[in-house]
Amino acid sequence: MNERMPATRSRAAPAGTARTARRPPATPANQLLALQRTVGNRAVGHAIAERRLARTPTHVKEKFTEQLVNRGGKLHGKTAFDIDFKEITAELTVKIRLEPAAGVPAAEVDRVKADAAANFARLWDRKFLLTDDRTEEFFLLRAAVVFVTSGEHLKVQLLPGDGGIDQTHWHVGDLGIEFAHEISHTLGLLDEYVDPDVVRRRTSRSPGVFEDHSLMGNYFNEGIARAEVKLRHGQSLAATIGRATGRRYRVAFTTAAQQGRLLHWQGIRDAELPGSDARERAAAEVEAIERDLRIPEATEAAGRRYVPTP
């Protein structure tokens, strides 16, 4: 959003689904393999052709705002990206035109591009499965940033030094996670840290504030290395994609993403002091992830559809 991150910050970072062996995960790849075994390659080809006819690349474009306190004004942001449904993937692309200010060396421009693309992919790529509510088709969400000279979704000015950052103004001294945070606004996500000037984030108890190591939160205070994309972010993105495509999608973390999160949160839990609030919060996150990794098998055995825990 066109909003500054908190001015005080530290540059130093603090230290799917499981199934039985008899029943492989209902991933998109396995769905196609099962179809091949059942009716052969010709039927698979027809299924793929139908998908291609039914889904074409979609340009998503929206605007979002946040109401300001005592000013009657609003903060404004822009949602813009392409989503292209392939046979077993949903490929999301954000095209950015990076315009360096005078005096910014070409090597620094290239470094910022690489840093932004790598951090965005690290936090978003292969993290979620989208399931079409109507057809029950699964799609692995792929996510990438590409830098272009025209046809951009977002134009960003790259400034020298290290200063306040927002969706359309970056500095060469900013961190890769800051670039990923700002690009995530372009997916339609709102900030989640306290800002006394914003109605929904006025205090730590406000409904728009989260202190759970969110990429959209205050990761400078909570720990840069601990910041992650949350299920609610995937759900918000899926709703945006659904509005643009006229469909409705359920969202779950991929098994690999959940297993990675489990190790991540176990490490956070074990690094905190026994009995501390931070340790209890991390332990609760570990329990929730473990539950999600077990639930699909149990619910499907009972004949119910699995819906992940928010």
Contacts with 169 (C-beta within 8 Å, 6 or more apart), sequence order: 156, 157, 159
Q: Is residue 147 within 8 Å of 96, Cβ to Cβ? A: yes
Contacts of the segment 132-136: beta carbons below 8 A, 24+ positions apart: 132/247, 132/248, 132/249, 133/247, 133/248, 133/249, 133/250, 134/247, 134/248
Chain segment 147-190, per-residue pLDDT in tens: 999 999 999 999 999 989 999 999 999 999 999 999 999 999 99
Q: What is the pTM of this model?
A: 0.79
Which pLDDT belongs to residue 55? Answer: 62
Domain 58-253 adopts which CATH fold? Collagenase (Catalytic Domain) (3.40.390)
How confident is the model over 18-73, as pLDDT tens digits? 333 333 444 544 554 444 444 445 444 544 545 544 567 899 999 999 999 987 78
pLDDT of 241 > 80? The answer is: yes
Average pLDDT over residues 119-135: 96
Cα separation, 268 vs 279, in Å, equals 8
> Any idea where the domains of the chain sit in the sequence?
25-54, 58-253, 255-310
